[in-house]
Structure 1
């Protein structure tokens, strides 16, 4: 309903339709117990991981994006995204692993999780071409951080070093805290408020956009948004290819 932009009041109709369909298709009851939901979710997870493993077998090169964030229960959640390319130049971008760490989160601890994930997907260090991390010391540290641990591993295996990148979105967030861009924002905010603050101006602006065949049909209000980044800012990949 949300994806199609339907009103939420349509939910009652959909529910009634589903109940009628369920009575015809499943003359008893549809099991939605906790154990059933957990089992089905685990089956979906296993299927997705199997698809990713199949694609990972064909990778010629791959890169990693790793980040750490703390949830509401103060548990550190480590996420690793993987991006690989095969011989047909087909690119796969997926969330490869999520690990809950209840103890320390040093660079060595994170490196062990990275190593475990690579083993799970049968990925070799000599295929690694890029690593993206946030600015935390346990991630970006050149000696004891994740970056330093990976560099040491590559040196021990006599593998050419990978490219290490500081997350661009995280850099943008850091710059935004100190960079004064009011000279740009104030005129933009004034223009937006002038258009949206008056119904006539808004209608005329919409007519203007339609007249010039603009790709955009309207102008939203300016809102100051603080982006909370998971992976400390970052990588949003969908599972569209594996659904």
Structure 2
């Protein structure tokens, strides 16, 4: 009887506090540190990559967080997961998209040829990706162009699409990423796209872009 009474009292007590976002992040960090301390971390990283893409939503989210922590410390360890990140960039799970948008630019700087094999998937994902995914893709494409001018021809159309569709704040950020990555005629054409948008975006952003380009805003705009 006493046990039942105690049980009822416990049931009516204050609800157990849910883990905070910070605690969840700390958990992912702890898991990542254990993986990084392992002499052979690749099997665990592969497992998290599989869970991120194929597991239940909660498990996928947690694995995505763990992989984000790994990317911060040793991005080279996630290079074998490049195909999964290429699919994850347009995932319905926002945390998977965020991790993929962190991973792909990092991999493009380390192993551009591995990312280049996924270009058809990545270019095809741009329009359907959310804002975080689009940002990750633009950074990835710019990293590839920085790695080799050979990628410019394949990426110029999607980069033009990105610059044409960006709002003022995003155009400011992307122009500072894309333009330095391009050379020759692709650079000139991309710059022309950016300059052509200055009359269509808020003045505060247009002025910052103009300063970056070293030009004056058109008189009719000012």
TM-score by length of 2: 0.27
Q: Which has the larger radius of gyration?
A: 1
Between Structure 1 and Structure 2, which shows a larger proportion of helix residues? 2
TM-score by length of 1: 0.25
Between Structure 1 and Structure 2, which shows a larger proportion of strand residues? 1
